[in-house]
Amino acid sequence: MNSTNKFLVLIASFLIITSCEKQYEPIKVTANNFHNSVNRVIDVMIHDIFSPPVASRVFAYPNIAAYEIIAQNDENYNSLSGQINTLGNIPKPKNEDQINYQLAAFMTHLDLSKKLIFSEEKLDVYQDSLYSLWETANPIEFEEAKAYASDVTGYISNWMDKDNYNQTRTMPKYTVNSSEDWRWQPTPPSYMDGLEPHWNKIRPFVLDSASQFKPIPPPEFSMDKNSKFYKELREVYEITNEMIQIGDESEEVQIAKFWDCNPYVSVNRGHLMFAVKKITPGAHWILITQIACKNTDSDVNKSIYAYTKSSIGIADAFISCWDEKYRSNLVRPETLINKYFDDEWKPILQTPPFPEYTSGHSVVSGSAATVLTDVFGENFTFLDDSELRYGLPIRTYNSFKQASEEAAISRMYGGIHYRAAVEEGIGQGNKVGDLVVERLNMVN
């Protein structure tokens, strides 16, 4: 065979081989894919009845992992390595030019979320339906992203496991001391133990320590009618009685119910007791983050950034708040009103099972609103439809701050907090949020 014929044979062989190779389009991960994944995780968290502090941890780690991946390949975002406590550099992909970073971020977020919940199988169906489509669409890119996601999941899991959470699972329960009126006591109808009394031992993300923004002490306990404490107790009693007389049409009742966010409400029907499950306060603010992302048509990277920054603010707010709750250990209004004013009185909302001061909703809302204002700007008008699933109408806010202030005052309207816990709490939350904004240089 002469050289010309050999060349023609080689060309023909090359054409045959290349014609047999399938050309794959890159896998497209959208912001809606990420939003839907977040919603699925929230649904499972509601089913599994995660407490508000624990739920904040479930949000934070998967978001941070996803963010760290997109920051590897988007010059608009800076890694959080060295910016949040003890976080180092995540692994680099073996083939940097071949990785679909958004796909890997999505996979890592879902993998870590599954590690942090109980009912993993409820996410498996969702995961399998998406992955089968993506794997068929581009098997090479899919496997590359999956392998890298596994490396990052392992790294973040190791970092996560050193935050003292596992150790707090074996620490003793809160011991009730009912010998003095000012001390917190379990409340009806379930009289549950004090929730997460050791949460201040969890490693924070940005805070130097759980007590960094220790608020002033609550008003000194006194049943003297001229004391500040007594006046605040009486205020709760009188406001809620007025609301009860007006009924559900009362704006204050609507506000209280909209921001209830109690993941476990015990309901008695004769001899039957059952639980009504709802989102946590942190989940409510994660959904507000989602609303803001959709309103601004934020792409997947901007959405991951917003979720990450808000979830860090929420998580550290819970650590800060719980540190004070079990320090001041203050009694709830329901206990004192039943003892001194009216033994048949019930709050508008069910009293949650932990000490009163400061208000968790207030601290978390103050922090989340401060962070979201930094991400999306002031005077950000939005419609909050987070509570539609519970039959509550959409509410409109002209800013995140306005929403946070309403969330805070809702706790007094609900009959479960005094005014000091609300006002000091939102100030405490604002300080946490300000620190997150000041310390984290995430955007170029």
Quick: pLDDT tens for 164-181: 999 999 999 999 988 899
pLDDT digits (tens, 9 = 90+) for 177-210: 888 999 999 999 989 999 999 999 999 999 999 9
Beta strands in 272-431 (DSSP E): 272-276, 382-384, 395-397
pLDDT digits (tens, 9 = 90+) for 226-273: 999 999 999 999 999 999 999 888 999 999 999 999 998 877 666 666
Is pLDDT above 70 for 20? no
Q: Residue 383 has what pLDDT?
A: 98
CB-facing half-sphere around the CA of 41: CA atoms within 13 A: 28
Is pLDDT above 60 for 138? yes
Specify the residue for token string 């001899």: 271
Domains of the chain as residue ranges with CATH: 31-162 (no CATH), 179-439 (1.10.606.20)
Q: Residue 23 has what pLDDT?
A: 81
Q: Residue 66 has what pLDDT?
A: 98
Calculate what percentage of the chain has a pLDDT beyond 90.
Answer: 89
Burial of 50 (0-12, 13-18, 19+ CB in 10 A): buried
Q: Give the strand pairing for 272-276 and 382-384.
A: unpaired
Q: Residue 19 has what pLDDT?
A: 39
Phi first, then psi, for residue 441 (nearest 5°) are -95, 85
**389-406 per-residue burial string, b: 16 or more CB within 10 A, e: under 16:** eeebeebebebbbebbbb
pLDDT digits (tens, 9 = 90+) for 69-121: 999 999 999 999 999 999 999 999 988 889 999 999 999 999 999 999 999 99
H or E segment and range at residue 289: helix 281-295
Q: Across all residues in the chain, what is the average pLDDT? A: 93
CB 281 within 8 A of CB 46: no
Q: How far is CA 322 from CA 52, 56, 328, in A?
A: 11, 12, 10
CB 218 within 8 A of CB 357: yes
3-state secondary structure of 272: strand
Q: 114, 117, 140, 116: which is closest to 128 by C-alpha?
A: 114
Q: Residue 358 has what pLDDT?
A: 98
pLDDT digits (tens, 9 = 90+) for 351-400: 999 999 999 999 999 999 999 999 999 999 999 999 999 999 999 999 99
pTM score, two decimals?
Answer: 0.94
